[in-house]
Amino acid sequence: MHLALFIIFGLLCLGGALNLLLQQHPINSALSLIVVMSSLAVLYLLLGAEFLALAQIIVYSGAIMVLFVFVIMLLNAGLEEKTRGSRAAYLAGIPGMLALFGVLAGTFFTLRSSFGSARLGAYLATTHDLAQVLFRNLLLPFEVTSILILVAILGAVVLARKEH
Amino acid sequence: MNQFLIFILLTLLKIAVVTVVFLTAVAYTVLLERKLVGRIQNRWGPSRVGPFGLMQPLADGLKLFLKEDLMPSAVERPLFILAPIIALACALTSIAVMPYGRDIRWHGVDMFQIANINVGLLVILGVTSIGVYGIALSGWSSNNKYSLLGSLRSTAQMISYELALGLSVIGVVLRTGSLNLRDIVNLQATHGVLSWNAFGGVQIVAFFIYLTAAFAETNRTPFDLPEAESELTAGYHTEYSSMKFAMFFMAEYANMINVGAVATLLFLGGWSSPFGHLFPDFGGPVVHALLPVFWFVAKVFCFLFLYVWVRGTLPRFRYDQLMGFGWKFLLPLAIANVVVTGLVLAVHG
Amino acid sequence: MSVPIAWYLILSAALFSIGVCAFLIKRNIISIFMSIELMLNAVNLAFVAFANRWHQVNGQIFVFFVMVVAAAEAAVGLAIIIAVFRSRNTLNVDQIDLMKL
């Protein structure tokens, strides 16, 4: 069951990511990113992070990506144009990506026995556990992050406002 | 293995019954709206099909089903088809985590809730937030300026009011200490009206915020700017016809029922009776099991009535008024409610 | 029926590499921004997988902070994109090469 779900949603993730890479139109890229994020939420659920899975759906798929889609619609972004910069990027990007993936995957694969394995239902982080750590041990970072959000809101309002 | 089989079969049974009842309710909500708005405007509403027009939803459904499915030539095909599916699927999903009756087990399976999830409330919020894509994509893929404007407005409106909506339920969650909808209802099921969150729990402000934000989330009057007929023809579904239009239509009414049901669960005690334990149990086990379902449905019906009543009486907001109301009034009020609730709970409990 | 944590990590590595590649190849500024989000998500998956490995919630808390920062970043970043589009009328990064207009 766990294996089947992992394969299905892992493949969805990979497919979505590749589609993001290959699509020419930003709205198609945005939609494939939504697929990636929602499938990741299912993987979180498999790893016993139920609150995080739903937070992923609400924050990433439901808020951040809606913002992206909104901006794409607002600016009426069309197909991507090929320009001089992109050939160099192709030459450097694809081998670089393969090398990066090779190094990371090779490392994880050689160390695979020390990572152990995940069983369905073996570990569940409840909302209560999360709150204990977040609001006791990590209270200061939490407050600092809230200030960051406030600054970001003000910054966004200032930036997006039309000059009169 | 036998236990597992029973579980699967009973769950499928629950899903089938709930889906059929829900879809019928959607169809009859349309009739309710037409009838009530008719009475408010001093006319009869549909009255020809069947006794009191009760067969009207059937006729409507048949008409929409048999209409020609037009596909405008300049649309973005895949997204144009996908959009109504997303809208309807998201609208029909949230009912799966809602408890609509007492926790009564038959062969070890809870018969009055499809899935009891620890973070049930978040599931509903998440599914609702995904539903925005249906409207956003329909407007974009239609290749029509009215549709695009309608969906831009709708997306902005939903993002804005989702904040107030999310903050308004935090008071309830603080009071319960759980995101499980069964726990939230059980806390309110002891003393009838006096223990409901909206009254005994003193979340009346949160209830008001939720209600207002819910009107905006479902694109209903007075916040129905995305489909304002006088400015945008039909808004985001201008280019849709036949079954694809019907899907948007059903999604809108299903969402109305959803927010009504969530408001009932969070603020009005879900399936609990308004009299609490004032009256002793009468009747047999069947009445004991089905009476809560009756209360739940009755409360949701009151919400639907309120929806239609508001539609029949209030004029539409202007767009800047809508945004100002959401950001400058509802959001600060919701934050204040969270702070006050937190302080009171810290002192008292 | 258990799945090795290493598989989750390899999936995360694959998503991250695709994100890097998209970041380099894409020419539309919004698509580039989306590839950054993809990379952040890939790292989040690794965090959650490690949280499962050590049965500690700290890894999940880290993901929370990433989400919050990503939300803040999206708000500011998209505001910048709108401002850039208003003044230059293009979203192609190769044409946005002047410090001052």
- For residues B219 and B148, state if they share a domain: yes
Is the same domain home to B218 and B334?
A: yes
B271-300: per-residue pLDDT in tens? Answer: 888 877 777 667 777 777 888 888 899 999
Residue B326 resides in a domain: yes
Query: Of residues B219 and C42, which shows the higher confidence score?
Result: C42
pLDDT in tens, B14-67: 899 999 999 999 989 988 888 888 889 888 888 888 788 788 888 888 888 888
Q: Are residues B98 and B59 in the same domain?
A: no
pLDDT of res. A83: 66
How many domains does the structure of chain B reveal? 2
Question: Residue B332: inside a domain, yes or no?
Answer: yes
Are residues B270 and B318 both part of a single domain?
Answer: yes
Residues B206 and B273 in one domain: yes
- B289 with B175, same domain? yes
Higher-pLDDT residue of B270 and B31 is: B31
User: Taking CB atoms and an 8 Å cutoff, what residues of chain A touch B148?
Assistant: 73
Which position has the token pair 């590595």? C13
Same domain, B183 and B328: yes
Binning pLDDT at 50, 70 and 90, where does residue A57 land? very high
Asked, for residue B41, whether it belongs to a domain, the answer is yes
Residues 93-122 of A with CB under 8 A from B: none
Residue B285 lies in a domain: yes
Residue listed under structure tokens 């709108």: C82
What does the pLDDT read at residue A116?
80
CA distances from B114 to A18, A31, B10, B180, B254 (A): 36, 30, 10, 13, 17
Chains that touch A (3 or more CB pairs under 8 A): B, C
Provide the pLDDT for residue B333.
92
Task: Judge: A40–C44 Cβ closer than 8 Å, yes or no.
Answer: yes
Q: What is the 3-state secondary structure (H, E, C) of chain A?
A: CHHHHHHHHHHHHHHHHHHHHHCCCHHHHHHHHHHHHHHHHHHHHHCCCHHHHHHHHHHHHHHHHHHHHHHHHHHCCCCCCCCHHHHHHHHHHHHHHHHHHHHHHHHHHHCHHHHCEECCCCCCCCHHHHHHHHHHHCHHHHHHHHHHHHHHHHHHHHHHCCCC
B42 in any annotated domain? yes
Min Cα–Cα distance to chain C from A87, Å? 8
B97 shares a domain with B51? no
The least confident of A129-143, B45-59, B76-90, B221-235 is B221-235
Buried b (16+ CB within 10 A) or exposed e, B231-247: ebebbbbbbbebebbbb
Residues ≥6 apart with Cβ < 8 Å to B261: B95, B98, B100, B296, B300
Residue B144 within a domain: yes
B39 and B76 part of one domain: no
* Domain shared by B128 and B233, yes or no: yes
Q: Do C6 and A111 touch (CB under 8 A)?
A: yes
pLDDT of residue A85: 64
Nearest-Cα distance to chain C for A17, in Å, is 7
Q: Do C5 and A30 touch (CB under 8 A)?
A: no
Percent share of chain A, pLDDT over 90: 28
Mean pLDDT of the residues in chain A:
86
- Average pLDDT rounded to a whole number, residues B211-240: 78
3-state secondary structure of C28: strand
- What residue has token string 């197909």? A79
Instruction: State the distance between the two ends of chain B, measured CA to CA, in whole angstroms.
Output: 45
Which pair of structure tokens corresponds to residue B265?
């669960």
Which tokens hold the place of A162?
């039309």
Query: CA of A106 to nearest chain B CA: how many angstroms apart?
Result: 36
Coil, strand or helix at B76:
coil
Cβ neighbors of B113 (< 8 A, separation 6 or more) are B97, B98, B99, B100, B101, B103, B181, B182
Whether residues B90 and B50 fall in one domain: no
Q: Coil, strand, or helix at residue C98?
A: coil
Whether B9 is in a domain gets the answer no
Q: Is the pLDDT of residue A39 over 90?
A: yes
Give this prediction's pTM.
0.89
Inspect the interface and report whether the beta carbons of C2 and A119 lie closer than 8 Å: yes
Name the residue facing B125 among A58, A69, A70 (closest C-beta).
A58
Going along chain C from its start, the domains and CATH numbers come out as 5-95 (1.10.287.3510)
Give the position of tokens 């009973």: B10
Q: Do A1 and C1 touch (CB under 8 A)?
A: yes
Question: Is the domain of B62 the same as that of B140?
Answer: no
Examine chains A and C and say if they touch (3+ CB pairs below 8 A).
Answer: yes
Sign for the pseudo-dihedral over CA of B92, B98, B101, B106: positive
pLDDT score recorded for residue C95: 79
Domain limits for position B42:
20-66
pLDDT score at C43 = 93
B8 located within any domain:
no
pLDDT digits (tens, 9 = 90+) for C45-98: 999 999 888 888 888 899 999 999 998 999 899 888 888 888 888 888 877 777
Q: Which residue of A has its CA nearest to B79?
A: A28
